[in-house]
Structure 1
Amino acid sequence: MTLSNLPIGIDLGTTNSVVATVSDGGFEVVPNARGDKKTPSVVSYDQDSQSVFAGRQADNRAIHHPEKTVKSVKRHMGTDETFSLGPDQYHPEEISGLILKKLIEDAGNELNRPLSNAVITVPAYFSDAQRRATKRAGEIAGIDVDRVLPEPTAACLAYGLQSTAGKRVLVYDLGGGTFDCSAVKIDDGVIETLGVDGATDLGGDDYDSLIVNWVADTIADEYGSPPALNNPKVNQRLFGAAKEVKHELSSRTSAIHQLPFLELQNGDTIDYELNITRGEFAEITAGPTQETIDIMNGFLNDLGLTPSQFDDVLLVGGATRIPAIRSAVEQFFGQEPRTDLNPDQIVALGAATQAAILNDIEVPAVSTTNIVPSTEVSQGEAAINEGSNPILIDALPRTLGVELQEPKTNDTYFQPLIQSGESIPARAEINVTPVRAHQTKTRFTIYQGDEGTLEGNDEIGELVLGPYPPKELDEYSQRATMEIDSDGIITFTAVSLDADVSDTTEIETRFNREEETLGGTNPDLPALHR
């Protein structure tokens, strides 16, 4: 493959997305049509022109057209939720497909070449359905997804850590809508994920919500009525203001944001000045910050590791710019976390690295141009050595198992097959017997989770084996096999060993919309407004 037709790496984020690729001089972030290094993960529908906007234009429309704008769709990936854009309903992976289409079109124009392949990153804690939805989004956008790569693994690749020996690294990844913590062992070109934990509903958006609630309470105390948060336009204005002060407080000790003609719930309007200090922000948002620390603490306890046993702590995701988060992480680990690469771009650069490796392209050094936020980093510190393509070993984020039934009591229970933390790809088998004699079908229900009960875990699919010839109980012989590939995609197969012809069926997960068309009626993505 030549440089004229190279794959790209995409960090498909909750709030913003980033594209990176390999170039003659190394790896680089590809700017969008506006020249920006990141693109808002937002889609909006314009009724007048009956066209769809994605990126910054869509984000700019959110205040005046919130009911026609979709944000933070990453939090809904793998679900059955739908979103209205014009006359049609869209699934989360279809909205993400529109975002990816925007990213691919802009990057292709910037690079002056067609783009057909990509590595797309996901939170390490994403479920099978969420990973499948992400891969489907890429297919909807018109590209082949070479791999769905966990974000912490991408971060290690971007830092070039595979060139180190005998190092243990903790990746703290807090984006707009998700949180991951991953323990990674790096030795002799092998990057092995020891385990992952996190929350798919915890991120920078939650900090914005807390600031909005604080502003609403402050206004209610001062004016006798809170803002009209039930008005979508007022809601968007306040969330936009919260995001602005959050960003400003990353580099300043106080922030001011003007909100003229702000509508209150009682119908009045006020000119409000949002004035907040860094200390107030830290106090208001202490809850989610502490939640990330609690998750990490429990995670390390489960692994049998202590904070002092890590050689490096990497901060990934735009929310890690918040000073209170950096302080909390430093206090927990007893060392200053690494912040020498732009946390918004690390994951995309790592994805581009993996894309090059998968296409047998010799991995050049990561270019530090435009990715160092403040202090200069030596090329040796941020470089990936040529000719040293690493071996990646990821870990299963949540246990996979099946529902079995105790024949004497008829009680059902969760039987783990592949435990969380096990290296993937992985495979496990179990021999089973039907519950009743003369049975001709066996139903397997598949679960994912780390709770001991069926109710505490997520049902992700089922398989029905059969029909097969009826027999006495002691004459049946069946085997079930669970497999998970390097993308984290799960396959479940069952075989009737005693039948004349083996019967094998693959599981259909709860996310299975490959044959559906966009919006239920449209065979293709709508054209994006340029």
Structure 2
Amino acid sequence: MSDDIAVGIDLGTSYSCVAAVQDGAPQVIPNEWGELTHASVVSFLPEGTVLVGNNAKKNIITNAENTVYSAKRLIGRFFFSDEVKKAQAVMPYKIVEGPNNSVRVEVGGRVLAVPEISALVLKEMKAVAETALGREVKKAVVTCPAYFNDNQRQATRDAARIAGLQVLRIINEPTAAALAYGFGKDINQRICVYDLGGGTFDVSILEIGKDVFEVLSTAGDTYLGGDDFDDRIMGWLAQGFLEAHQLDLRQNKFCLQMLKEAGEKAKIDVGRDGVAQIHVPAICQTAEGEVLELRQTLAADQFNRMVMDLVQRTFKVCDEALQSARLTAADIDAVILVGGPTRLPVIRQSVQHYFQKEPMTGVDPDQVVALGASIQAAALLDEAAATTGAASYLLDVTPLSLRVGTVGGFTERIIDKNTPIPIEKSKTFTTSRDGQERVKIRVYQGESNRADGCELLGEFEFSGFRIAFRGEVQIQVTFEIDPNGIVHVSATDLETGQRASTTISLSSGLSEGDLQTAIDKNAEIELAGHQAA
């Protein structure tokens, strides 16, 4: 058997996890302290080193301006997007604009693209695996939310490349969870994967037969997750403190971070114990110098009322996924819960009520995605796949419709959402005016027939065709979506056969030159507190 190995990495908003198939079974790889999940937090230390993981999370308060968390909520987004504006309002680190409307993070005296931040998390996962396995790890399957668009997928791939990893495939998190659930079982079921992470929510409906995992539909919300539950508690605490002391803790980012930490802890405590006793000593001081503390008690029923609209938002997404699959909740044989927030009783009870069946137990919501990614990684290494019995066929879908821009600010759909991938599809367009020398082809993802209601993935110009009257020149535009869900576009002049092609990649704002620079910079960054393999 080859010494080659590929790992599966769940690159999460709040926590990340790495796994590998060993001795025929997928296993989560612990770090040298036995930790199985690692905070997706990167802290830039004064001496120039970088701390990643659970130790870095401790710096969110003490080194707030130089500690980056929830970067996944920013990856592959444009600077002008609502999601980025929301993050700017609450994050203690600086979020600034980069080239091509991209997002950059200014931290530790450096300006980094978001994929460079995620690359440091992936580099840590790579180091964890290499230390435990005692060999170099170069290949990985990396997961992303099912509802990530092409920009976000490209940016995730860029992050892995910067970290020194060859990405065998980008797969959807719910699909990875289904692989782990079905591994080694001879089952024939329709399952729903309900994936509520720290920053994103996805639902996928799959049909599992012998060695075949077919995604029937997927739907999601890329800005709904456990962070939003924390924010509700933070808002409630801040409002109570304001009423008691006439001081708004939200106006000070240091106080805001203490509130955030208290909110996250309270969410966990109320989920586990049914009540949370919240105490934050010395959270601020008055103009007269009096040091104030924060004390509150949060009961489960109060918390449930506080977040119920967020829970209900998840079921609108479930409705959409079931409708796309032409199924009802009664057609689902099993429900798999993924993501730390699904441990909350309010989530489990609501899911049970919606599907009229109890969610599956025995599946660890924090580890199942990485385990599934490792199964797919082993399957993609031919020799390893032959010896592990890893899943033979994985049939995924594209989560969003693919469109091309037309005259008047409209779009025309080329590939429907929930179409099985990989796929290639073409459509013929004509020139729109006399004497036209070039056409600009704009590619969009989304469900609106208006361009401003969709996400612009990118654009390219096609020229060199015959100059003629309007409508005489026919140009065939071909869209290809590869197994990673990444879009490739080409245009062909049907008269001459001349062709222009591009991979749509405005994603992370990183050109090939930018990527090479980022790879070089990343190689020089020393991760603090981690043993080399």
**What's the TM-score once normalised by structure 1's chain length?**
0.90
Q: Tell me which residue corresponds to 2:498.
A: 502
Task: Determine if the alignment matches structure 1 residue 441 to structure 2 residue 422.
Answer: no
2:103 aligned counterpart, secondary structure: coil
Q: Could you tell me whether the CA contact under 8 Å between 1:172 and 1:314 is conserved in 2? A: yes
Q: Tell me which residue corresponds to 1:430.
A: 427
Alignment of 1:233-248 (within 5 A): 233-248=254-269
> Over residues 45-84 of structure 1, what are the superposed CA-to-partner deviations in whole Å (9 max), with x where a residue is unaligned?
122x122211122111111111111100001111211111
1:244 aligned counterpart, secondary structure: helix
Q: Tell me which residue corresponds to 1:184.
A: 206
2:322 maps to which of 274, 281, 300: 300
Gaps of 5+ in 2: 78-101
Indicate the percent of aligned positions where both proteins have the same amino acid: 34
Alignment of 1:399-418 (within 5 A): 399-405=401-407, 411-418=408-415
CA distance in 2, matches of 1:417, 1:151: 25
CA distance in 1, matches of 2:470, 2:202: 46
Alignment of 1:15-414 (within 5 A): 15-24=14-23, 26-47=25-46, 49-79=47-77, 80-160=102-182, 163-221=185-243, 223-263=244-284, 268-362=290-384, 387=389, 389-405=391-407, 411-414=408-411
Shift of 1:201: 0.6
> Over residues 275-297 of structure 1, what are the superposed CA-to-partner deviations in whole Å (9 max), with x where a residue is unaligned?
21222211111121111112212
- Tell me the amino acid that sits aligned with residue 225 of structure 1: Q
Q: Could you tell me whether the CA contact under 8 Å between 2:476 and 2:493 is conserved in 1? A: yes
CA distance in 2, matches of 1:305, 1:394: 18
Shift of 1:516: 4.2
CA distance in 2, matches of 1:229, 1:303: 43
The 1:161/1:312 distance shift into structure 2, 3 A limit, reads farther
> Over residues 84-117 of structure 1, what are the superposed CA-to-partner deviations in whole Å (9 max), with x where a residue is unaligned?
1222111110000011111111221121111100
The 1:68/1:228 distance shift into structure 2, 3 A limit, reads same
CA distance in 2, matches of 1:45, 1:450: 40
CA distance in 1, matches of 2:472, 2:145: 45
- Tell me the amino acid that sits aligned with residue 502 of structure 1: Q
CA distance in 1, matches of 2:505, 2:481: 13
The 1:70/1:474 distance shift into structure 2, 3 A limit, reads closer
CA distance in 2, matches of 1:256, 1:427: 56
The 1:431/1:41 distance shift into structure 2, 3 A limit, reads same
CA distance in 2, matches of 1:303, 1:52: 45
CA distance in 1, matches of 2:302, 2:183: 37
Structure 1 window deviating more from structure 2 (283-292 vs 504-513): it is 504-513
2:373 aligned counterpart, secondary structure: helix
Gaps of 5+ in 1: 366-385, 406-410
Structure 1 window deviating more from structure 2 (502-511 vs 418-427): it is 502-511
Shift of 1:522: 8.3
Shift of 1:257: 3.1
- Tell me the amino acid that sits aligned with residue 471 of structure 1: A
Q: Tell me which residue corresponds to 2:484.
A: 487
Q: Could you tell me whether the CA contact under 8 Å between 1:208 and 1:246 is conserved in 2? A: yes
CA distance in 1, matches of 2:186, 2:416: 29
CA distance in 2, matches of 1:244, 1:458: 35
Q: Could you tell me whether the CA contact under 8 Å between 1:255 and 1:276 is conserved in 2? A: yes
Q: Tell me which residue corresponds to 1:374.
A: none
2:34 aligned counterpart, secondary structure: coil
- Tell me the amino acid that sits aligned with residue 499 of structure 2: D
1:486 aligned counterpart, secondary structure: coil
Report the RMSD for the aligned CA atoms in angstroms: 2.1
CA distance in 1, matches of 2:62, 2:146: 35
Q: Could you tell me whether the CA contact under 8 Å between 2:379 and 2:385 is conserved in 1? A: yes
Structure 1 window deviating more from structure 2 (268-277 vs 119-128): it is 268-277
2:451 maps to which of 451, 454, 460: 454
The 1:446/1:474 distance shift into structure 2, 3 A limit, reads closer
CA distance in 1, matches of 2:135, 2:188: 40
The 1:497/1:461 distance shift into structure 2, 3 A limit, reads same
1:156 aligned counterpart, secondary structure: helix
Which structure dedicates a bigger proportion of its chain to helix?
A: 2
CA distance in 1, matches of 2:68, 2:255: 16
Shift of 1:224: 3.0
Shift of 1:387: 3.3
CA distance in 1, matches of 2:461, 2:285: 56
Q: Could you tell me whether the CA contact under 8 Å between 1:162 and 1:188 is conserved in 2? A: no
2:124 aligned counterpart, secondary structure: helix
CA distance in 1, matches of 2:334, 2:296: 38
CA distance in 1, matches of 2:390, 2:121: 33
Q: Could you tell me whether the CA contact under 8 Å between 2:116 and 2:518 is conserved in 1? A: no
Q: Tell me which residue corresponds to 2:465.
A: 468
> Over residues 436-483 of structure 1, what are the superposed CA-to-partner deviations in whole Å (9 max), with x where a residue is unaligned?
222121111111001232221111111211132312346423211011
- Tell me the amino acid that sits aligned with residue 340 of structure 2: G
Shift of 1:190: 1.5
- Tell me the amino acid that sits aligned with residue 30 of structure 2: P
1:455 aligned counterpart, secondary structure: helix
- Tell me the amino acid that sits aligned with residue 59 of structure 2: R
1:421 maps to which of 388, 404, 418: 418
1:9 aligned counterpart, secondary structure: strand
- Tell me the amino acid that sits aligned with residue 139 of structure 1: R
Q: Could you tell me whether the CA contact under 8 Å between 2:266 and 2:278 is conserved in 1? A: yes
1:249 aligned counterpart, secondary structure: helix
Shift of 1:395: 0.9
- Tell me the amino acid that sits aligned with residue 22 of structure 2: S
> Over residues 155-199 of structure 1, what are the superposed CA-to-partner deviations in whole Å (9 max), with x where a residue is unaligned?
111112684454211110000000001111122322111111111
CA distance in 2, matches of 1:50, 1:264: 32
Structure 1 window deviating more from structure 2 (260-269 vs 94-103): it is 260-269
Report the count of equivalent residues: 501
Q: Could you tell me whether the CA contact under 8 Å between 1:463 and 1:506 is conserved in 2? A: yes
CA distance in 2, matches of 1:200, 1:474: 40
Q: Could you tell me whether the CA contact under 8 Å between 1:58 and 1:69 is conserved in 2? A: yes
